[in-house]
Copies of this chain bind each other. A is one copy, B any other.
Amino acid sequence: MTVPTGRRERKKAATRKKIADAALRLFLDRGYDAVGIRDVAAEADVAVTTLFSHFASKEALVFEQDEGFEQRLTRAVADRAPHEPLIPALRREILALVRHCTAESAAPVWHMIEGSRSLREYEESMRLRHAESLAAALAAAPDLSQSTTVRRTIARFVIDAYALAREAADPDGAVDEIFRMIEAAWEVACHPA
């Protein structure tokens, strides 16, 4: 029951990283769809079952370090300065995330994702999960008292902004444009007719 801080954990993390590294190497080299799970397992020198004990699916190998996404959004809501308005805080965070994804170094991975139908679909459903998490965070914020529908709507709109801005020709400008619309939607939801 004590917190295990030993070699076992390090070994596990090392195995996980070895698998993820092998996968990314093969995927970028030969293309995602052209590489099989058995190839990845062989390259990482690991059994197929071991691979699946570290990653829930083939797609999850690509979105490995994505855990931070949900946390960044929920914290942008929960940890914002007292009385700081909600939408600008979210706008700032989304802008940072969009810039992170459209950075030069992320281009090959992003290109790979766009090239595979299953990866795109996986990311879509990830985004829905993120939207639900954000809606939950909005419900937990003490200074916001909207209806469930309004919370879920705003959460979806914010996630949409992320997805749309990333694909836009001018991502920064798109964030501005979309968040102006979200701001208006939020205002009208706060002050019902």
**Contacts from A to B (Cβ < 8 Å):** 120-121, 124-125, 128, 147-150, 152-153, 156-157, 160-161, 163-165, 168, 173-174, 177-178, 180-189, 192-193
Contact = CB atoms under 8 A, between A and B. Distances in A.
A85 to B, nearest CB: 16
24 contacts: A120-B125, A124-B124, A124-B125, A124-B128, A148-B168, A149-B165, A149-B168, A149-B178, A152-B164, A153-B164, A153-B177, A153-B178, A156-B160, A156-B163, A157-B181, A157-B185, A177-B189, A180-B189, A181-B185, A181-B186, A182-B185, A183-B188, A184-B184, A184-B185
Contact of A181 (B120, B128, B188): B188
A121 B181 CA distance: 28
A180 B174 contact: no
A156 B147 CA distance: 21
Nearest to A154: B181
A190 to B, nearest CB: 10
Contacts of A187: 184
Contacts of A157: 157, 160, 181, 185
Given A153-B164, A157-B157, A164-B152, A177 B124 contact: no
A185 B160 CA distance: 14
Contacts of A177: 147, 149-150, 153, 189
Nearest to A121: B125
Contacts of A178: 149, 153
A178 B187 CA distance: 12
A153 to B, nearest CB: 5
